[in-house]
A = this chain, B = another copy of it.
Amino acid sequence: MKYSIFGESHGPAIGVLLNDIPAGVTLDMEEISLEMGRRAPGKSAISTARKEADVPEVLSGLCGGFTTGAPLCAMIKNTDARSGDYSLLKRFPRPGHADYTAAARYDGFADMRGSGQFSGRLTAPLVFAGAVAKQLLAARGIFVGAHIAAIGGIRDIPLTDGGFLKDKTAETVLRAAARKELPVIDDGAGEKMREAIAAAKREGDSLGGLIECAALGLEAGIGEPGADSLESLISRACFAVPGVKGIEFGAGFAFAEMRGSAANDPMEMADGRVSMRTNNNGGVSGGISTGAPLLFRAALRPTSSIAREQDTVDMEERVNAKLVVPGRHDPCIVHRAVPVIEAAAALALLEAVQKLYGIRGLCGRRQ
């Protein structure tokens, strides 16, 4: 299933086109709606005040609740656009935003109202596509879930701790986290994160964080070495999410200070099946799934839009300038990015699975 996102924040609509989708799959639209709700803005004090229905209209590829096998296009109309807020961006590019790079790339013609195609709003169709991917993966027994690993230095319990990764426990805690406003395992940590976000907001500032994502139930043997390794596919998809600036699998950056004797995951027979005693490699070896839970973490930079005055340039007068970014700001988007990272991971995994089993291998019916 290939996906292609389109739209600009304040244009007529945003959306996604899905190709190579199996026919005859029942899409659970309520489930998709719930996924999109997890990402949606406007729910609380810690998110932007912009309110959008974000109801996707399926334009094609779905008939009577079943996929038809034709390209599936889902569109979300932009209803709460306030273009006026952003009129000075071309002259005074916002630090940390893509205003300046977009001008260079698109020769001054990018539609930057509401940050245009760089807006976090474009992650809504990505979550839609990811929700479809998740349902297809679920039919093969694969679950993808994530939680906030840290915000502003405050850490949630890692999945690798506390035995969560006896698969079903991890799924349970991740499903529980998904229902919370701040998707964490440890509610105490969540409460502290909320306070930290509120404090940053009061100070006209913003916070970054970490997201930990797991895929459970993935059989051994998915993926391949080289540029279609699972790490390659997943990292590519995750770096398409605005604000992601780092990704690591398993022990990741900690490997740099480990020795091979500690890093290698010892293998053992358990109930007649091969398993790994540790999972330092995050469920991927040689670019291929090991059968252990796939585990990665993504680092997100603090939201670029802050209320404080910042140093920038005046592109017209070619002099230095001060800027106070107008408009509505999220002091933190890490919690809203959790379903987006899940979506990116699910889409990447589906690509690897589909390469091996084809479109028909995903239809959830017997061949």
- Find out whether the CB atom of B60 lies under 8 angstroms from the CB atom of A263: no
What B residues does A361 contact at CB under 8 A?
357-358, 360-361
**Min C-beta distance of A29 to chain B, whole Å:** 14
Q: Does A146 contact B (CB under 8 A)?
A: no
Q: Does A225 contact B (CB under 8 A)?
A: yes
Q: Does A266 contact B (CB under 8 A)?
A: yes
**Min C-beta distance of A22 to chain B, whole Å:** 9
| Complex alpha-carbon distance, A66 and B358, angstroms | 22
In the complex, 29 of the A-B residue pairs with CB atoms within 8 angstroms, ordered by the A residue number, are: A6-B59, A7-B60, A8-B60, A8-B68, A23-B106, A59-B75, A68-B117, A70-B116, A98-B286, A100-B290, A101-B289, A104-B289, A117-B225, A150-B257, A208-B259, A225-B240, A227-B240, A231-B239, A235-B235, A245-B249, A245-B255, A247-B248, A248-B299, A255-B301, A260-B303, A260-B306, A261-B310, A277-B311, A358-B360
Interface 1/0s, chain A 200-230, versus B by CB < 8 A? Answer: 1000111111100000000111111111010
What B residues does A70 contact at CB under 8 A?
6-8, 106, 110-111, 116-117
What B residues does A183 contact at CB under 8 A?
none
Name A353's closest neighbour in chain B (CB-CB). Answer: B358
Q: How many residues in A have their beta carbons less than 8 Å from beta carbons of B? A: 148
What B residues does A224 contact at CB under 8 A?
105
- Find out whether the CB atom of B240 lies under 8 angstroms from the CB atom of A205: no
What B residues does A8 contact at CB under 8 A?
60-61, 63, 68, 70
Q: Does A53 contact B (CB under 8 A)?
A: no
- Find out whether the CB atom of B250 lies under 8 angstroms from the CB atom of A245: yes
Interface 1/0s, chain A 52-68, versus B by CB < 8 A? Answer: 00000111111100111
Q: Quickly give the copy total for this chain.
A: 4
Q: Does A41 contact B (CB under 8 A)?
A: no
| Complex alpha-carbon distance, A104 and B230, angstroms | 15
Instruction: Kindly identify which residue among B106, B256, B360 contacts A150, using a CB–CB cutoff of 8 Å.
Output: B256
Stretch of A42-50, A136-144, A168-176, A313-321 at the chain-chain interface: A313-321
Q: Does A272 contact B (CB under 8 A)?
A: yes
Say whether, besides A60-B6, A312-B267, A313-B269, A23 and B109 are in contact (CB < 8 Å): yes
Closest 5 CB pairs of A and B: A98-B286, A104-B221, A358-B358, A246-B248, A96-B264
What B residues does A312 contact at CB under 8 A?
266-267
**Min C-beta distance of A177 to chain B, whole Å:** 18
Stretch of A9-17, A184-192, A335-343 at the chain-chain interface: A9-17
Instruction: Kindly identify which residue among B106, B122, B222 contacts A24, using a CB–CB cutoff of 8 Å.
Output: B106
- Find out whether the CB atom of B304 lies under 8 angstroms from the CB atom of A264: yes
